[in-house]
Amino acid sequence: MPKNIQTLSKVNARKQSFCINRYNSTLFAYKDHAYHVFKPKQKSLSKTVVNTIISDYEIMLSHYSRVFVVRIELHPNTYSADNKVIKQFLKQLTTFLSGEYQSKVIYHCAREQDTSELEHYHLELMISAHKTNYPERILSLVKAMWEMHTSGTVAYVDNPFCIVYRGNKTSLKQAIYRSSYLAKEHTKELNGKACGFLRNKLKSAKNFDPTTDLMLVDPDITFMKNRREQAFKIAQAAKPAPSAQIGKLIKYGWFNTLSHAQQLKECIASRTTNLNHLLVQRAQRTVLTSC
């Protein structure tokens, strides 16, 4: 569970990445494909909410080829029996972010209450990744607006953001899994008449075809991605065995990634043009820095 953190600098701390496995996940069918979703230890997920969440990924990806998803936890200072306060806040927040980033915004918000006398909210925001790709500013804005609106507090979750790409199912794996946590039925028993899941509705782009799932899984994109990966593996296998390279954990990301040097090599290997001069420049900078 996320820990209550008072300063945004705490978000910078590197955390252990999670691993999706058969013990903490299950498969959920959506259109023509299956996706890993969160597997609660108690009760289950609301299928309706999971469908809604994945559908909203489709809608956002119909507008933008890259979508930025960020998470934060909100704690009010007084109990609300009807979600009136959080609804007003989310409306103001969405309007502000839409204007600030000139982007459409979708939010998902889950209300939970377990042993505490007060409820808390898990908030997820989707925004164009063409406008932003790091979470500090958005999280600061959410924190400031929440404190001003409710005098409440926020908690920054571990690894609070990711970027998903249109038609690239691999990029959606971690995102949909994390988002599906908001659909769990446990800890919503004390909500009473207050709805346990809130979201805003956004129309899809005019060229979106709801009978397909090309926004989530595009065969051409998958084919090209696999071909680049195989070409890179073949190129790496032909080289002398390098010293041990350990993937580094992104400060905020929802998954582990390769080192910057390894990412650069992979990008160069996957391009049709010759970019080897970048490696030479990088090596020269390294030599100068070490002098």
Does residue 213 surpass a pLDDT of 80? yes
pLDDT category at 276 given cuts 50, 70, 90 is: low
Q: Is residue 205 part of a domain?
A: no
pLDDT averaged over the chain? 84
The domain containing residue 69 runs over which residues? Answer: 8-199
Q: Same domain for 159 and 246?
A: no
pLDDT of residue 2: 47
Question: What pTM was estimated for this model as a whole?
Answer: 0.75
pLDDT category at 286 given cuts 50, 70, 90 is: low
Q: Same domain for 192 and 234?
A: no
Cβ atoms 25, 37 nearer than 8 A: yes
pLDDT of residue 17: 56
Q: Is residue 38 part of a domain?
A: yes
Does residue 241 surpass a pLDDT of 90? no
pLDDT category at 279 given cuts 50, 70, 90 is: low
> Could you tell me what percent of the chain has a pLDDT over 70?
76
Q: Same domain for 195 and 224?
A: no
Instruction: Dig out the tokens for 5 from the structure.
Output: 């953190």
| Each residue's pLDDT tens digit, 30-84 | 999 999 999 999 999 999 999 999 999 999 999 999 999 999 999 999 999 999 9
Q: Same domain for 247 and 136?
A: no
Q: Same domain for 230 and 193?
A: no
pLDDT of residue 114: 85
Q: Same domain for 87 and 27?
A: yes
Domain count, the chain: 2
Give first-to-last CA distance, the chain, whole Å: 46
Q: Is residue 102 part of a domain?
A: yes
Q: Is residue 210 part of a domain?
A: no
Q: Same domain for 237 and 162?
A: no
pLDDT of residue 78: 93
Q: Same domain for 230 and 163?
A: no
Q: Same domain for 102 and 194?
A: yes
Q: Is residue 100 part of a domain?
A: yes
pLDDT category at 282 given cuts 50, 70, 90 is: low
Q: Same domain for 118 and 225?
A: no
Q: Is residue 207 part of a domain?
A: no
